[in-house]
Chain A
Amino acid sequence: MTTPTPRVLVPSGATKGEVFQVRTIISHQMETGLRHDVQGRVIPRKIINRFVCRYGGVEVFSVDLHEAVSANPFIEFYLLAMESGRLEFIWEEDGGSTYRLEHQLAVA
């Protein structure tokens, strides 16, 4: 499996008090733990189990994902523009790996 690659689509700027959309996706096969390999052995579960968004260091949105979320999890959500600052996006995988992206948001 190639390294999970996250991508985020978020505006570079917003007006204070405005709602802006964030779209995220991470390439990840999401093994549900229900499939079998050619030998008939169960392929163990390996999924992105948590997504967190922090804005200026404060957690503003998160998702606990389970096996029923599709592969290459796509999550679209909406935040309120408060102040200029850093948006952090963190994906946590079964086994402890994390993947992150950052984005600077300019709020007028």
Chain B
Amino acid sequence: MGLTRREMLMAGGVGSAALSSAFLASGLAGAHDETAEFVARHTGGKATESDRVHLIMPAVFPTGYTVPMDLKVDSPMTEDDHVKRIRVFAPQNPLIDVASFNFVPQRSIARVSTRIRLAKPQYVVAVAEMSDGALLMTKTWVDVATNGCI
């Protein structure tokens, strides 16, 4: 006797569950892997996600022409322990570099605000280069309603 209908259905059920969980996993985890890869390509180093880097942007914004961006890194800004610069990227823009903010220990604080253009909804990525060479990164999702790049 061959497989029963019950066995066939169960095999199908397990198979599709495995397939859909694979899709889900790649959808979420894939975003992290892609970002890490992207940062490695553009900074030449390996960045670690850090909650010391605060990239504050609106989750939803009506225009892509002038999206507010607040950026801050928790750091004492001493000679021995400071942020050298923070680079911001918009990977889904036609030109992905946004800006690079350069700081001086004991003179400036690692905190800036500006307004940027986004072409479409995407993760904006910030990578802080520390005085000891470490790269700390964070990203935030911004859903813009219009293309601010053209």
Q: Which residues of A contact B (CB under 8 A)?
A: 19, 32, 34-35, 53, 55, 58-71, 73-80, 82
Contacts and interface: CB of A to CB of B under 8 A. Distances in A.
B95 A68 contact: yes
A68 B90 contact: yes
Interface stretch (B4-12, B19-27, B34-42, B108-116): B108-116
Interface of B: 65-67, 90, 93-104, 106-109, 111-118, 148-150
A64 B99 contact: yes
A78 B67 CA distance: 20
Given A69-B115, A74-B115, A79 B109 contact: yes
Contacts of A58: 104, 107
Contact of B95 (A55, A59, A62, A67): A67
A64 B109 contact: no
B107 A55 contact: yes
A63 B101 contact: yes
A61 B150 contact: no
Contact of B102 (A62, A68, A79): A62
Contact of A68 (B98, B106, B109, B112): B98
A63 B104 CA distance: 12
Contact of B99 (A34, A35, A61, A65): A65
A34 B65 CA distance: 14
